[in-house]
Amino acid sequence: MPIFLLKRILSTIPVMLIVAVLVFMLLRLTPGDPAAIIAGDAASPENIAKIREGFGLDKPLPVQFGIWFGNLLTGNLGESYFFKKTVVELIAQRIEPTLALATLTILIAIAVAVPLGVLAAWRMGGWLDRALMGFSVMGFSVPVFVLAYILIYIVSLKLGWLPVQGYSRLGEGTFWQFLRHLILPAITLSVIYIALIARVTRAAVSEVLTEDYIRTARAKGLPEFTVLWRHAFANAAVPIVTVIGIGIALLIGGVVVTESVYGIPGLGRLTVDAVLARDFPTIQGVILLFSFVYVLINLAVDLSYVLFDPRIRY
């Protein structure tokens, strides 16, 4: 059914359009003169007037949006007054650490959470199950930065195993150097993600385990591992993949904090720096980028259902 597929892909366009409008309106709905906000606190009146003209802030709102959106479509996100660069350049410069951190985090989270969730569902009510559920409530409650400092204190300061902060670009040092700087941040960031994925995995697998075909599989003498992996997990994959997609929002929030604590020069750090400098073009650019990535990942998740569940066809 390629029509459904097409519809699903097209359905992201209005969402992205609304996101663009919201991000655009963010600055315009603010009390005060947007030009003065963009120019910063120490700007001279001439500077503010120049910005007002440059951004077309003296024109009516729909016209402003047209200009801004036209620029957006051609990949022009504006220029950062603070960093003296175009926003696109800034993002290109900062995207590598964030991508590396996010990828490692997702890998760790899936590798830990899925087996734990399956085992917890397998022995529901057992010690592992209870420990996991306890851990997951804790994972949602302990703030990322508190966890980060606990890990830094133990692993870096007391044991001296890993560096406290910093980042080593891929290709500049050895691969191990690159990885060493990412291990702690990725573990920190993965905790809340593990909590989320493990919870959903447990719920989804435990539901499948009550199905008749699980009893059949056991009755015909399949080893328990095969029952759990091939029959239970495979049929519970759709909600698990869905939550991995939804959790990307958590991950993005976490990246902002984690990169600040560990001094990683990525997009999250850029967001905080831009906010502290009230560098509005950059804030807009980063929010747009993060939101679009989030929408696209969830589109990919929806489309991937076909791979996990042959009953679903597009």
Cβ proximity to other proteins, 49 vs 287, nearer residue: 287
**Least distance in Å: CB of 220 to other proteins?**
30
**7 CB burial (10 A radius; 0-12, 13-18, 19+):** exposed
**Least distance in Å: CB of 166 to other proteins?**
14
**Least distance in Å: CB of 219 to other proteins?**
27
Cβ proximity to other proteins, 104 vs 200, nearer residue: 200
User: Residues 259, 97: contact at Cβ < 8 Å?
Assistant: yes
Cβ proximity to other proteins, 61 vs 137, nearer residue: 137
User: Residues 108, 187: contact at Cβ < 8 Å?
Assistant: yes
**Least distance in Å: CB of 276 to other proteins?**
6
Which residues of the chain form contacts with other proteins (CB under 8 A)? 14-16, 18-19, 21-23, 26-27, 30-31, 37, 137-138, 140-146, 149-150, 152-153, 157, 164, 199-200, 203, 249, 252-253, 256-257, 260-261, 271-272, 275-276, 278, 283, 286-287, 290-291, 294-295
**Least distance in Å: CB of 264 to other proteins?**
14
Cβ proximity to other proteins, 73 vs 219, nearer residue: 73
**CA–CA separation, 2 and 78 (whole Å):** 37
